[in-house]
Amino acid sequence: MKNKINLVILFIFIIFCFIIFFKGLNNSNIYTPINNVEKNLPIFKARDFISNTHIDSANIFAEESYYIVNIWASWCAPCRKEHPLLMELQKNKSIKLIGLNYKDNLNNAKKFINELGNPYTKILIDKDGTLSVEFGAYGVPETFLINKDKKIIKKYVGPINQKIVQEIKLIVK
């Protein structure tokens, strides 16, 4: 009798392990930080891409409107791909786009903007990547949606697509 109980317990244990590992097979083993938690906007000072002067974050996000912070670089191929969508978003009157030029060569970045158009109301220089860390980014491109209360409400890792553009338009409506 005792042997039978032990056998049943062993069987249940093996089934339990099997289910755990089987479920684990479908999970991605690449960790992405939780994206959709409201976060406060970081306070920082950054250099302006055009005027080359330092600006405070309070002045950058001064207006009462939705803001999109897009991290981009001229060397990043997916940024080139998402650029037309940013140009489309720029037409929306309730959004202001802020670009964060990530670890880039200034001349190449200017060429990129001249060639593909400038969707940003302001571009900030992030020469050493530390400004992107303030936003909680870890690569390029990344896009953040900031609401009127100056909270980061959405974070999109990787290039944005048409579906994301529609989602953003719905939120800022």
Partner 1 sequence: MKNLNFFLIIFLIIGFSQIKSEEKNDELKIKILKNIRCLICQGQSVYDSESDFASSIKLIVDRKIESGITEDQIYDFLREKYGDWVIYDPKLNKNTYFLWLLPLLLFLVGGAIIVKNLIFKK
Q: According to CB under 8 A, which one of 39, 47, 80, 150 is a site residue for partner 1? A: 39
Q: According to CB under 8 A, which one of 132, 144, 146, 156 is a site residue for partner 1? A: 132
Q: Which CA distances in Å does 157 have to 14, 120, 166?
A: 38, 19, 16
Q: Say if strands 142-146 and 66-72 run parallel, antiparallel, or are unpaired.
A: antiparallel
Q: According to CB under 8 A, which one of 19, 33, 88, 111 is a site residue for partner 1? A: 33
Q: In what order do the strands lie in the sheet with 66-72?
A: 39-40, 151-157, 142-146, 66-72, 95-102, 122-126, 45-48, 54-56
Residue 138 beta carbon to partner 1: minimum distance, rounded to whole angstroms: 4
Q: According to CB under 8 A, which one of 44, 90, 116, 129 is a site residue for partner 1? A: 129
Q: Which CA distances in Å does 89 have to 28, 33, 92, 159, 161?
A: 31, 25, 6, 14, 11
Residue 78 or 129 with smaller CB distance to partner 1: 129
Residue 173 beta carbon to partner 1: minimum distance, rounded to whole angstroms: 29
For residue 151, give the H/E element and its range. Answer: strand 151-157
Site string for partner 1, 69-108 (x = CB under 8 A): ----------------------------------x-----
Other residues' Cβ atoms within 10 Å of the Cβ of residue 100 = 29
Residue 55 beta carbon to partner 1: minimum distance, rounded to whole angstroms: 20
Assess 31 for contact with partner 1 (CB under 8 A).
Answer: yes
Residue 28 or 114 with smaller CB distance to partner 1: 28
